[in-house]
Each structure stands twice: as structure tokens, then as C-alpha cells.
Amino acid sequence: MPFRRRHRRQAQAVSLHRRRTLADREDVLGVAMLAPALAYVILLVGVPFVLAIILSFSTASAGSLTFGWAGFANYAAILADPIFLRSLGNTAIVTIGSQVLVVVLATAAAQVFRAAFHGKRTARFVLLLPWAVPVSLAAIAWTWIFDSTFSVINWTLKVSGLLHGWLYWLGEPGLALFAIIVVQAWRIFPFATIIVLAGLASLPQDVMEAAIVDGAGFWRRLFHVELPLLLPVVAVAVLFGVVYTATDLGVVYILTGGGPANTTQVLPTLAFQRGIQGSDLGQGAAIAVFLLPFLIVVAIAMLRLARHTEVGAR
């Protein structure tokens, strides 16, 4: 740092030989270059964010541009609505269920993919496919895989003797939720794996060597040395996973459309159904606002994590 600052001063001293103009003032340039991004973020993220909260207290509908104050009427309406309560519960179930699966799959996959083996590049390519494909296209592929008549899963289970009846994957609430959890985990675990791999690569080598010298075996090293050290990295993966899952509309919308009979609705699909398709913007906004607690928890956790690891790294 001091080295850098000294040179900077020298550079400024040299430019002093010319006339110092506006083009040399870092503060002015800094603000000017930042202004468009700030304007975009404030006008098109900040303002709509506030508008979302205002709308949730309003009688707004899609047809007209004016709206009146509704107080807590929208909130009272949805809190008394069993479909909403179910969708709130489903959001939690899907998020937690899929993230548990993601953590298990990702830490296991990272152990495999840190080793050297033949065909690793191909394996990595295949592993990353779920994250690269657009959510909506992956969801439509899974819809076909879970088809009530043609499901290849049913065929395979039947032939292997594990299934005697029939599974209507997207037609029964419990199975449909399970299918949604599997698809969400499938979609996010490659991303989590890569993050955990990045974490593994940055582990202090001396600690691992010390553990080996002390005679710790693979499992002991994994559970007592690596995983605790990896915790901040796994947490980052989970936090992004929570945001991606809790706020995702595409998977549920395409896989089940919230059905059968609204039993697999999650907050985003219900907000879409009421707010956009049903034109009740106020109620849709109120439903979407219930995503905030998930996001606030994630944001706080991330900030703490960032501070924590920064201290640890120095």
C-alpha cells in the first residue's frame, strides 16, 4: 500500500507540471463514472422495491394506474387464506429440503472432483450442465421425465421390481413436492460443488499435512479438519442456494403450476397467480413481501460471514 501511494503522489506531482484540470480530479471522475450505475440501481431496483411494499398496502389492480390505500387488508386477507399459508410452508419445505440435499451432494461431489482421474474434463462438463441450462427448459424436461403415463422413472422402478403400483409424480401433493425438491437440488448442487471446490483449493496446506502426520484417516480429516474449515464456503453456497430456491418461480410454475389444487404453490407462484394473472397487484405484492424474511436472513448472514472471514484471513 505505501509503495502504491508513494508512486501515486509522484504521478500526481508530475501531472502538476501541466495545468491540473477537471480531468485529473479523481473524486469528480469517480462520481461521474459511478453515476449511471447508481441511477440504474436506485431507479429500477430501489424504487420498485419500495413500490412493492407500498403496493402491498394498496388496492391496486392491473387495469388502472391509480390506487387507494388499503391498510393491512391485503395482509389480513392472505393470512386468513389456507392456500397462502400452505404456500408459505411449501416455500420453507422446498428451500430447506433442497438445500440439505445440496450440501450433502456438493461436499461429496467436491471430494470426488478434487481428485485426479481420467475424463475429468468431460465429467466436469456434464456436472455443470444443470446450472448452465435455463431453468424453464430444465423444468420442462423434468416435466416430461415425471409424466404420468410415460415416466421413465416409473418404468425403471417397475422393471427393477421396486414398484408394484404406479407413481403419479406431479399428480399427488407429497410426490409433487418431492419432485420439486429434487429438481431444485439438481439445479443448484453443481454451483455449490464448484464453490466448495474453490474453498478446498484455498485451504491452508500445512493444516492438512499436520493432520496426516498426526495419523488422521480420511473420514477423520474430512469431518474434524476439512469441513469445519470449509464452513464459511459451504455457507456461501447455501446462502445463494436459499435465494435461488426460495425466490424461484420457474420450476414450480412449469412442473406443477402450483397444482394439484394449489397444494404445491410457493410464494412466487402464488404471487404471480394473484398479482399478475388475477390482476390483484395489492395482494400479489403482499404475498411477495413474505419473501423478505428469507432474504434479510441471507443478507445478514453474508455480511457477518464476509466480516468474519476477512478477520480470519489477515
Partner 1 sequence: MKRVGLYTAALGFMAFAGFPFYWMLITAFKQNRDLYVGAFDTKHVPWIFNDPPTLEHVRLLFEQTQFLRWVGNTLIVVVAVIIITVAVAVPAGYSLARLTGRWGERLGMGIFFTYLIPPTLLFIPFSRVISFLGLQDSLGALILIYPTITIPFCTWLVMGFLRSVPWDIEEQAMIDGYSRLAVIVRVVPRLIVPGILTVVVFTFTLVMQEFVYALTFISSVDHMTVSLGVPIALVRGDVYHWGSLMAAALFVSIPLAIVYNLFMDRFIQGFTMGAVKG
What's the min distance (Å) between Cβ of 173 and partner 1? 21
Determine if 66 is a binding residue for partner 1 (CB under 8 A).
no
Determine if 93 is a binding residue for partner 1 (CB under 8 A).
no
C-beta of 79 vs 295, nearer to partner 1: 295
Candidate residues 73, 96, 123, 222; the one interacting with partner 1 per rule CB under 8 A: 123
C-beta of 176 vs 282, nearer to partner 1: 282
Report d(CA 142, CA 120) in Å as an integer.
Answer: 26
What's the min distance (Å) between Cβ of 223 and partner 1? 18
Cis peptide before 173 (omega within 30 of 0): no
Candidate residues 85, 112, 207, 227; the one interacting with partner 1 per rule CB under 8 A: 112
What's the min distance (Å) between Cβ of 241 and partner 1? 11
Report d(CA 246, CA 88) in Å as an integer.
Answer: 10
CA distances, 307 to each of 127, 235, 302, 314 (Å): 32, 14, 9, 11
Torsional class of 261: left (φ above 0), alpha (ψ -120 to 50), beta (otherwise): left
Determine if 94 is a binding residue for partner 1 (CB under 8 A).
no
Identify residues 131-190 at the interface with partner 1 (CB under 8 A): 131-142, 144-145, 149-152, 154-156, 158-159, 166, 186, 189-190
Determine if 125 is a binding residue for partner 1 (CB under 8 A).
yes
Which phi and psi angles does 280 have, rounded to 5°?
A: -95, 80
Q: How many residues bind partner 1 (CB under 8 A)?
A: 121
Amino acid at site 158: K
C-beta of 177 vs 281, nearer to partner 1: 281
What's the min distance (Å) between Cβ of 68 and partner 1? 14
CA distances, 173 to each of 163, 169, 216, 254 (Å): 19, 9, 46, 15
Candidate residues 176, 250, 256, 264; the one interacting with partner 1 per rule CB under 8 A: 250
Determine if 268 is a binding residue for partner 1 (CB under 8 A).
yes
Which phi and psi angles does 213 have, rounded to 5°?
A: -60, -40
Candidate residues 73, 124, 257, 259; the one interacting with partner 1 per rule CB under 8 A: 124
Closest CA to 99 of 231, 223, 232, 245: 245
Candidate residues 127, 208, 222, 301; the one interacting with partner 1 per rule CB under 8 A: 127
Burial label for 81, CB within 10 Å (0-12, 13-18, 19+), is middle
CA distances, 283 to each of 31, 54, 61 (Å): 39, 11, 9
Identify residues 15-44 at the interface with partner 1 (CB under 8 A): 15, 17-18, 21-27, 29-31, 33-34, 36-38, 40-41, 44
- C-alpha 62: how far from chain center: 29
Candidate residues 93, 173, 247, 301; the one interacting with partner 1 per rule CB under 8 A: 247
